[in-house]
Amino acid sequence: MSVNDFWTPFELYSFLNALFIGLSVASIWLVAALGLTIIYGTMGVINMAHGEFIMLGAFSTYVFQTQLGVPFIVCIPLAFIVVGLFGWVIERLLIRSLYNRPLDTLLATWGLSLILIQVVRLTFGAAPLYVAVPAWLDFQVDLEILHLSGLRLFIMVVAVLLVVLTWYLMYRTTWGIRVRAVMQDKEMAASFGINTDRVYSITFAYGAGLAGAAGAMFGALKTLFPDMGSGYIVEAFLVVVVGGIQLAGSVLSALILGQLNSIFSYFTNDTFARFVLFSLIVIFLRFRPQGLLTEGLKRR
Amino acid sequence: MKITRRNLIRSASVAAAAVAAPSIIRPNEARAEPWITKGGTIKVGVLFSQSGALAVVENDSAQVVQYAIDEINANGGVAGMKVEPIIIDAKSDIKVYSEKISQLILRDRVICTFGGYTSASRRAVAPIVMARDHLFYYPTCYEGRECTQNIINTGPLANQHSQDLIPFMVKNFGPKVYFVGSNYIWPKESNKNAKVWLERAGGELLGEEYVPLGGSEFAPIFNKIRQAKPDFIFSTVVGDSDIALHKQFLQEGFKADKMPIAALTTGEIEVRAMGPEAGAGHFLSAPYFQTLDTPTNQKFVENYLKSKYGGGGVTHYNMEETYLSVYVWKAGLEKALAQAGDIEAVTPRMIRDASGGIELGDDISPEGKVWIDPDNFNIWLKPKIGQCQADGQFKIVQASEKHVAPDPFSIYPDRGVCKADGLHTPDGTVQKNVL
């Protein structure tokens, strides 16, 4: 293998391993995009602060872990609750008054993201921090065709759990029926006695909570710093938009995009893989702007 | 005189000329206006990012400049005058660097500016500094390949940085290496230099990969590394990505004693951010480590951490190089003053020209004696190799016996030789301010 080769030579085991890495990348992107799917899909709010919700989840995990000594596995639901509550407050104070002005929610949430970044920077300083990985996740699956760290496997499992939980809430509970009714036609749902305000605030809080749980895991996998959200928001939006702004679509698009990214970067390199992937997405959206899967929902 | 239209125009144009005259003459007057006024303070610019992505490192740089200035002022200042830092936040934005350097030179009339951590910021300020014939101190490592008459550098060049590290790693771990870097100019140029040393050491390059700045997904690269089986990894990954690289190295089950990472930037600050267990066992090439066992360094570490700037709890090669730049400036100013005889006659150009050969002895420089090259105005230093220990501090495993010369064009000999007056090209011309 020579350095000057642009293409990596094919080697079966490494390639199979690249496919597993693709699954891992897909699960990370999916976890990042899940909350956004709910908020954007249900409420039509383009939440530019979603990356910062992830960042808040990571930093709250850091605080729980270092200040209070809470074990990592408990930090994830705690981050969900903390960021969910925060999202609920934000919905009450800010998003609520902007439902009829979608472009303004874009600006308002972007402004919110800048505020959050600065507040965290002033509180924790600009230096990167880290969330310690617990000892029971410090293992590697080490087969010929498969090398995966325990943490990555754990994220894949949690991603599946979160998807199942969200699916259950949306399609198997009364709350889910209400949410989907509001999604399809707000006025009609309201006239049937559904409290749309409540549905909106709980949905937003749930979406924010998902971002918080994502942040808890990303803090362990990568680095904590105030701007970390911007590293996830692009992928999250791509997954959501390509998927068609609904749950099954996001799962499908995360799988496809993560897998393509891993395969391209296996054969060429990471930089080139991104170039190819983003180009493919642009071409795809040119011919199918509604995304992979769509429900016939009324756009607000 | 009766006011006719012709008279009016004539007198108006005379009046206009009279009004305009001072501003035509003015450039000469402005040149005569001294950069340093007796009885005032000596103003210097401090242009680092205290917010944004670069703040992680540059915040410390800004603090250490202030620390050095405080130290100088406490010891009587320069030529009996106090030094006054004009501190500006560059906000990690290239546009702000170029805007604010103009403001520092034209409005604040600083005698020089300390600033920058990335080549992008240096290149943003360089054209303005050169056009105004001003003076800029770039206090950290960079790739070289430049020959300017207005910038003085106090960090290692690419040729000094990996010259010892690569042969050391090849000797101790084996010849096969994999290069991983951030995707911008410094890692690419550093890797070009490293390849030269690798070839001389009889090493073999198995692969070369770059991640976007700020990128934090290393699983695909580690997969290829697992396939290629190198003896060690040579990393020029910087900032947040560097921390992700080391953490994922650990998570992937690699061991630092089997396949260590030899880096050019993973120092005390980075290890603090990634956790010592992720840094332990890996290697760093730098002219300075906090653990350096010299009386000057012990005093520097103790005093700095005790001062109001030392809240971070560590000192770092970048901080030390920045600290040196202030003392290089002080020595240059004192030498220029001795030549000019009058502090008001000293210009940035005179300080720069006087700085060639300036030496900081063991008593000032925490890393040991260094001096400014009289030709290319980079710094002569002794590269050292440290291995990160379990406590996040580095154990120095090899220190260069001799000082290594900075050579900005070491891998581009056909471009020419950098001298004080410009780049002497092989065809006999002298090019000024080559970027």
Q: Verify whether the Cβ–Cβ distance B215 to A140 is below 8 Å.
A: no
| Within a domain: A300 | no
Residue B11: the pLDDT is: 60
- State whether residue B93 sits within 8 Å of chain A by CB: no
In CATH terms, is domain B157-286+382-435 a member of 3.40.47.10? no
Residue B101: pLDDT over 90: yes
Q: Verify whether the Cβ–Cβ distance B227 to A231 is below 8 Å.
A: no
| Contacts across the A-B interface (CB distance below 8 Å) | 113
Of the residues A19, A270, A271, A276, the best mutation for testing chain B's interface (the one with the most B CB atoms within 10 Å of its CB) is A270
Residue B213: the pLDDT is: 79
Residue B337: the pLDDT is: 93
Residue A299: the pLDDT is: 47
Local confidence band at B181 (pLDDT 50, 70, 90 cut-offs) = very high
Residue B219: pLDDT over 80: yes
Residue A4: pLDDT over 60: no
| Within a domain: A266 | yes
Q: What is the mean pLDDT of chain A?
A: 88
Local confidence band at B432 (pLDDT 50, 70, 90 cut-offs) = confident
Residue A145: pLDDT over 70: yes
Contacts of B183 in chain A (CB under 8 A): 271
Domain B157-286+382-435 in the same topology as domain B42-156+293-372: yes
Residue B108: pLDDT over 90: yes
Q: How far apart are CA B94 and CA B88, in angstroms?
A: 13
What are the structural domain ranges in chain B?
42-156+293-372, 157-286+382-435
- Which of A128, A266, A271 is opposite residue B210, by nearest beta carbon? A271
Q: Verify whether the Cβ–Cβ distance B228 to A140 is below 8 Å.
A: no
- Residue B3: helix, strand or coil by DSSP? coil
Q: Verify whether the Cβ–Cβ distance B220 to A270 is below 8 Å.
A: yes
Residue B133: pLDDT over 90: yes
Q: What is the CATH number of domain B42-156+293-372?
A: 3.40.50.2300
Residue A2: the pLDDT is: 45
CATH for A241: 1.10.3470
| Within a domain: A294 | no
Q: Verify whether the Cβ–Cβ distance A17 to B226 is below 8 Å.
A: yes
Tokens of B2: 């009766």
| Top-confidence residue, B422 or B24 | B422
Q: Verify whether the Cβ–Cβ distance B240 to A228 is below 8 Å.
A: yes
Range of the domain at A156: 12-287
Residue B8: the pLDDT is: 58
Local confidence band at B31 (pLDDT 50, 70, 90 cut-offs) = low
Our CA-based measurement puts residue A69 at a distance from the nearest CA of chain B, in whole angstroms, of 16
Q: How far apart are CA A231 and CA B212, in angstroms?
A: 11
Contacts of B249 in chain A (CB under 8 A): none
Local confidence band at A300 (pLDDT 50, 70, 90 cut-offs) = very low
- Which of A127, A130, A147 is opposite residue B247, by nearest beta carbon? A130
Residue B416: pLDDT over 80: yes
Residue A274: the pLDDT is: 87
Our CA-based measurement puts residue B243 at a distance from the nearest CA of chain A, in whole angstroms, of 7
Residue A53's region, left for phi above 0, alpha for psi from -120 to 50, else beta, is alpha
Type of residue found at B313 = G
Local confidence band at B27 (pLDDT 50, 70, 90 cut-offs) = very low
Q: How far apart are CA B36 and CA A256, in angstroms?
A: 64
Q: Verify whether the Cβ–Cβ distance A273 to B212 is below 8 Å.
A: no
Local confidence band at B287 (pLDDT 50, 70, 90 cut-offs) = very high
- Residue A81: helix, strand or coil by DSSP? helix
Average pLDDT over residues A29-55: 91
The pTM is what?
0.84
Residue A298: the pLDDT is: 43
Q: Return the residue matching tokens 């770039």.
A: B138
| Within a domain: A216 | yes
| Within a domain: A120 | yes
Our CA-based measurement puts residue A102 at a distance from the nearest CA of chain B, in whole angstroms, of 28
pLDDT digits (tens, 9 = 90+) for A246-256: 889 999 999 99
| Top-confidence residue, A146 or B166 | B166
Contacts of B278 in chain A (CB under 8 A): 130
Residue A275: pLDDT over 50: yes
Local confidence band at B110 (pLDDT 50, 70, 90 cut-offs) = very high
Residue A253: the pLDDT is: 95
Residue B9: the pLDDT is: 60
Our CA-based measurement puts residue B55 at a distance from the nearest CA of chain A, in whole angstroms, of 6
Q: How far apart are CA A58 and CA A131, in angstroms?
A: 8
